[in-house]
Amino acid sequence: MHVLGHLTVEEFLRDYWQKKPVLIRQAIPGFEPLLAADELAGLSLEDDIESRLIIEEGKTGAWEVKKGPFTESDYRALPENKWTLLVQAVDQWVPEAAELLEHFRFIPSWRIDDLMISYATDGGSVGPHWDQYDVFLLQAEGQREWRVGQMCSEKSSILEGPSVKILADFTENERWVLEPGDMLYLPPGLSHWGISQGECMTYSIGFRAPSTAELLERAIDTALPTLTEDNRYSDASLSLQHSPGEITDDAAARLKSLLVDALSDPALLQATLGQLMTEAKYEEQAPTFDTSEQGWAETVSALQEAEQWTRHPQARFAYSINDTGAAFYCQGEIVNLPASAGKSLEVLCDEASYDSQSLIEAFDDSHLKTLLTSLVFCDLIVPV
């Protein structure tokens, strides 16, 4: 399904992605909500599910935030209106929500974070704010007015008091009322404010983008084991300097090229992204990747118990190929494989589901057999 309405994927990527907002009327014509408001509230009662309530005129002040899990009495204590329930990672609990995310694979799947669903009463809003991440806001039920304003950064002032970040200043540039099936794309940093008109439900398709600090830490961790005492600062191009105590621009330039060299191997950089971007959203709940002791015969018979298999809802897969070989990434781990594994890894990472017989045939190679066995016995792929 194409969800970009009047835009082609190429136009969207060229003109809007990470650049400016765009409203797509009837991105999904006739869209039917995937779950009712009381089912969403039901999820927020569960221990393992991350949820929040934001109450504009709360008992403790403006923009009160409560964290789930909630109880029925939390709901009875809410005011008549102007509150919002937000439930994170619904795709991990509702298969139809995971299917909805499949339509956003025109962006690399390892950039997709989760599907958050909000339910708001009349006038409900989480206030004017900005996010670090791209988001598609799909109107699922009822109407919501969205206002977009100025670009923001960590320097933008926020209200003191509320534990949720509310902008102290919001300069509106545009506003639209979204109907069910309409979708608004917002780039990171753009301030926005969505106010419910009557009761409404909004689905946020959110993305992940690691910070430079996280990437640097991971890249260094990956590079360190490859370095020896022979890798060292050197200055064969040294010339006489006026002040011997000065650390010159030339010295800084030598260090820069040493650091760039240490981190420039494409396989190392792919592994940095691959490991970071496949970390589970909730590590304590998600299956972990481990090498299984089971044999291939056990794997084949386990796979044959179901015709169709799919990724575990909390599993995150990605792969890379370069001159030195291929690598598979899962739950923050890396498995190095020969380049010939590329086609099988593509199936594993890109297909929404797999036919067990095709999987057995595609993984008929000693390295790949070990990988598939681990995926089956660690519950990283599961019967549909």
By the criterion CB under 5 A, which residues form the site for Co ion? 131
Spell out the residues 6+ positions from residue 165 whose beta carbon is closer than 8 angstroms to its own: 129, 130, 158
Rounded to whole angstroms, the Cα distance separating 315 from 184 reads 28
Find the shortest distance in angstroms from Cβ 169 to Co ion.
16
* Binding range to ligand SIN, per CB under 6 A, among 118-126, 147-155, 277-285, 356-364: 118-126
Picking from 124, 117, 114, 115, the residue whose alpha carbon sits closest to that of residue 64 is 124
Q: Is 313 exposed, middle or buried (0-12, 13-18, 19+ CB in 10 A)?
A: middle
- Is 88 a binding residue for ligand SIN by CB under 6 A? The answer is no
Q: How far is the CB of 205 from ligand SIN (least distance, A)?
A: 11
Residue 77 beta carbon to ligand SIN: minimum distance, rounded to whole angstroms? 21
Binding-site member from 51, 92, 118, 320 for ligand SIN (CB under 6 A): 118
Q: Which is nearer to ligand SIN, 192 or 311 (CB)?
A: 192
- For the chain, state the CA radius of gyration: 24
Interaction of residue 278 with ligand SIN, rule CB under 6 A: no
Q: Among Co ion, ligand SIN, none, what does residue 139 contact (CB within 5–8 Å per kind)? A: none
Instruction: Return the residue of 3, 56, 70, 84 that touches ligand SIN, per CB under 6 A.
Output: 84
Smallest distance, ligand SIN to C-beta of residue 26, A: 19
Choice between 206 and 274, CB closer to Co ion:
206
Interface residue with ligand SIN among 3, 34, 126, 178 (CB under 6 A) is: 126
Q: Which tokens sit at 48?
A: 């393992």
Phi-psi region of 40 (alpha: psi -120 to 50; beta: other; left: phi over 0): alpha
Q: What is the x/- site pattern for ligand SIN, positions 199-228, by CB under 6 A?
A: ---x-x------------------------
Whole-angstrom CA distances from 23 to 16, 116, 180, 185 are: 10, 19, 13, 6
For ligand SIN, the closer CB: 204 or 356: 204
Distance in angstroms (rounded) separating the CA atoms of residues 64 and 55: 5
CB of 84 to ligand SIN, least distance (A): 5
C-alpha closest to that of 21 among 254, 193, 224: 193
- How many CB atoms within 10 Å of residue 145? 15
What's 158's DSSP letter? Answer: B
Q: Nearest distance from residue 62's CB to ligand SIN, in Å?
A: 16
192 is a contact residue toward ligand SIN (CB under 6 A): yes
Q: Which of 50, 113, 131, 134 binds ligand SIN (CB under 6 A)?
A: 131
- In whole angstroms, the minimum distance from the beta carbon of 125 to ligand SIN comes to 7
| C-beta of 50 vs 131, nearer to Co ion | 131
Q: Which residue is nearest to Co ion (CB)?
A: 131
- Nearest residue to 122 via CA among 196, 219, 44: 196
CB-nearer residue toward ligand SIN: 86 or 359: 86
Would you count residue 139 as binding ligand SIN (CB under 6 A)?
no
- Work out whether 194 is an interface residue with ligand SIN (CB under 6 A): yes
Contacts with ligand SIN: how many residues (CB under 6 A)? Answer: 10
Task: Enumerate the β-bridge partners of residue 283.
Answer: none
| 24 Cβ contact partners less than 8 Å away, ≥ 6 residues apart | 3, 4, 5, 6, 7, 182, 183, 184, 185
User: Hey, what's the torsion of the CAs at 82, 188, 170, 37, to 10 degrees?
Assistant: -10
Cβ proximity of 83 and 56 under 8 Å: yes
Report which residue's Cβ sits closest to ligand SIN.
118
Residues lying near ligand SIN in the complex (CB under 6 A) are found at 84, 118, 120, 126, 131, 135, 192, 194, 202, 204
